[in-house]
Structure 1
Amino acid sequence: MDNNGFNPEELAHKWLKGSLTPEEELRFEQWYADFNDEELLLADSKYTSAEEIRTIILDQITAQIEEQQVPKIKKIYPLWRNIAAAAAIVLAIGLAAFYRVPLLNMIDPVKQVQLSTNPGQYRQIYLADGTHVWLSPSTTISYPEKFRGELRNVSIEGGAYFEVVHDTNHPFVIQSGAVKTVVLGTSFDIQAYPRAAAIEVTVVSGKVGVSANTGKQPEMVTANQRTVYQKATTTLFKESYPNAAKFLNQRKGIFDFKGASLQEVTRELETQYGIQISLAPELAGKAFYGRLQTSAPLNRTLDKLCAVMETHWEKQGGTYLLHP
């Protein structure tokens, strides 16, 4: 670059933008250094040093150059500022939605509740979403004090009847051993006692999805149907069950037997009362017709059963014996 092509104003403008080439930067610094500021008469000036004058001159040059750019900046800056603000809001909302539940759980952890019933004890509870649960004897249920997140998760061991409040956006999920039941809103019964050979889910109204740890697709179960999971073979199958309405009474401990074998009846009593019953061989196949209230004391229930079947009972150690 020769002296004739040297334009301090142009170089000053490029210097502000940071676009000087190495050669232009050297020429600009040399030009600036040629000012002999120290020789200026400062006696009548309000400035006290040459360095202060340099600063003022540079500020003035800068102000003049920026003055020419104001219209362009005014048009662009608000746009980018609005875009940046909008992006920040979207990002904040997205992060808040994504981390809402984890953050809430850190700040205000949800208490996990666990309830158990004794043998022969029936209990009704309401969950935070309004779901009504009838707990059978010898049953343990675990559930959160309040539901957060996409799923309403509970777990159960034993027997229970559920009337689940409908919520399409928050499925109700019950884990009972190896079986998982997914519900939107319906009435159904679960029998999942540890000592039982199977886990049964029977639907009274609505529809549920039942799956097991088998890798297969869930079984969709509707009213008057049930699924049976055989623990020994780890198989899950669905079948028709026209008498599903019986669970409306059984959730209260009322069992109506219409020709059931005495072995089947005593097996039910063992589950409800948490006892062991031994039948004389000649009694096992006899049919029983009648209603038993298993929320009543055990001795009263056995007395009624024996009166109908013309038998008697006695207790030997921890076992109840029924004889002709």
Structure 2
Amino acid sequence: MHNKNRILQLLEKQNSTGLSAAEEAELDELTASGDEYLFSSDEEKEAIRQVIHHKVFAAIDISSSPIRRIRFSRKMYGYVAAACILAVVGILYWANATRQPGEVQIAAANAVLKSVLPDGSTIWLNKQSAVRYHEDFAEHRNIEITKGEVFFEVKKDAVHPFVVHAAAINTTVKGTSFSVKMLPRSGDVKVSVVTGRVAVSKAKDTLSVLLPHQRLKYHAGSKQFNRDSVSVAEANGWIDGDIVLEKASIAELADWLQTAYNISVINQTAGNTRYYYVHLSSTTSLDDAISILNLLVQQEHARFQLQGNTIILKPL
């Protein structure tokens, strides 16, 4: 443990004021010594493993260089591992500082994230999405979406219903696959079913029981809901980079742009009633996405315009 703490001290100094020649030599010796890093928990060990993976491969630009064999010295691995420990300590500090006792949090930043829950169910979190549940999840299968969109493949368990909470809407199943999406601006919630049967409720009132290819939209402002049909592609196509929006309002298009490209979108339009069908790839550039959406919304005399690091959706 003392090696890890000393490495962290040296790295912090290196990032701030720099190291002396003696300190550089000490850091080289510590990272090349071959000693195992000691982890305070399995959570820290796994988090560091993930960060090392992403940092190493992010540092290799394979798009513009011929394929060649790359050798990493023990010293380089040591630096990467130590830097990752420093980063993960900050991540875990934030998670522990914001987590309630017994609470588990999972969050996706700018990529789709897959996770297996304690009961064996699998979830995929879309970009900028997050969930939380209690550590006794296997016995009380309740999970809350705090933001974004999540696709669920629920392991069958007749004894323990699986309940997803998203704002005021609760979705209850025993074994099925479906998605739940919270729209960040309006607070609306969409539930789309791929397989099985899903009960959607608000408080003690059942709003609807959905079958495959059915969707419920709950409108937070009016506290009303409607049910329609939906394709599997909209429910889970984004997992494989296939973006499908069906019967989406102009406000939903703005929400999607903000989430997909991690950019601020200001919507200056109001009272638009048209709905749109959009099919894009996750590899579509921001400029191309804006051009495609502008072809659609010109019918409403509106336009998406990129201004610096912000997109303005304005009436024409």
| SS of structure 2 residue aligned to 1:233 | coil
C-alpha contact 1:219 1:238 (8 A) present in aligned 2: no
| SS of structure 1 residue aligned to 2:111 | coil
Of 157-166 and 257-266, more deviation after overlay is shown by 257-266
The offset of 1:238, in angstroms, is: 4.4
C-alpha contact 2:234 2:246 (8 A) present in aligned 1: no
Name 1:191's counterpart in structure 2: 181
Name 2:69's counterpart in structure 1: none
Name 1:210's counterpart in structure 2: 200
Corresponding letter in the other structure for 1:169: V
Which residues in structure 2 correspond to 1:234-249 (within 5 Å)? Answer: 234-235=223-224, 237-249=225-237
Pick the aligned partner of 1:172 from 162, 174, 191: 162
Which residues in structure 2 correspond to 1:247-258 (within 5 Å)? Answer: 247-256=235-244
Identity of paired residues, percent?
29
Name 2:172's counterpart in structure 1: 182
Alpha-carbon distance in structure 2 between the residues aligned to 1:154 and 1:199: 15
The offset of 1:200, in angstroms, is: 1.0
Of 250-259 and 164-173, more deviation after overlay is shown by 250-259
Corresponding letter in the other structure for 2:205: K
TM-score (norm 1): 0.52
Pick the aligned partner of 2:144 from 130, 133, 155: 155
Corresponding letter in the other structure for 2:192: T
From the superposition, tell whether residues 303 and 318 of structure 1 become closer, same or farther in structure 2 (CA, over 3 Å).
closer
The offset of 1:288, in angstroms, is: 8.5
Query: How many residues are matched?
Result: 205
**Larger gyration radius, structure 1 or structure 2:** 1
Alpha-carbon distance in structure 2 between the residues aligned to 1:258 and 1:154: 26
Which residues in structure 2 correspond to 1:42-53 (within 5 Å)? Answer: none
Pick the aligned partner of 1:303 from 278, 287, 293: 287
Alpha-carbon distance in structure 2 between the residues aligned to 1:232 and 1:264: 15
Unaligned runs of 5+ residues in structure 1 are: 1-109
Alpha-carbon distance in structure 1 between the residues aligned to 2:276 and 2:222: 31
Name 1:220's counterpart in structure 2: 209
From the superposition, tell whether residues 225 and 318 of structure 1 become closer, same or farther in structure 2 (CA, over 3 Å).
same
* CA RMSD after TM alignment: 3.7
Which residues in structure 2 correspond to 1:278-317 (within 5 Å)? Answer: 291-294=279-282, 296=283, 301-305=285-289, 315-317=306-308
From the superposition, tell whether residues 255 and 223 of structure 1 become closer, same or farther in structure 2 (CA, over 3 Å).
same
| SS of structure 1 residue aligned to 2:206 | coil
| SS of structure 2 residue aligned to 1:196 | coil
Alpha-carbon distance in structure 1 between the residues aligned to 2:178 and 2:230: 13
Residue 126 of structure 2 is aligned to residue 142 of structure 1: no
Task: Please list the CA deviations of residues 234-257 of structure 1 after superposition, one character each: whole Å capped at 9, or x if unmatched.
Answer: 23x341214244323123342146
From the superposition, tell whether residues 191 and 290 of structure 1 become closer, same or farther in structure 2 (CA, over 3 Å).
closer
From the superposition, tell whether residues 301 and 243 of structure 1 become closer, same or farther in structure 2 (CA, over 3 Å).
same
Alpha-carbon distance in structure 2 between the residues aligned to 1:289 and 1:310: 13
The offset of 1:318, in angstroms, is: 4.1
Unaligned runs of 5+ residues in structure 2 are: 1-100, 296-302
Pick the aligned partner of 1:117 from 91, 108, 114: 108
TM-score (norm 2): 0.53
From the superposition, tell whether residues 279 and 190 of structure 1 become closer, same or farther in structure 2 (CA, over 3 Å).
closer
Task: Please list the CA deviations of residues 266-312 of structure 1 after superposition, one character each: whole Å capped at 9, or x if unmatched.
Answer: 4421233343346899xx99998874333x4xxx6223335657999
| SS of structure 2 residue aligned to 1:272 | helix
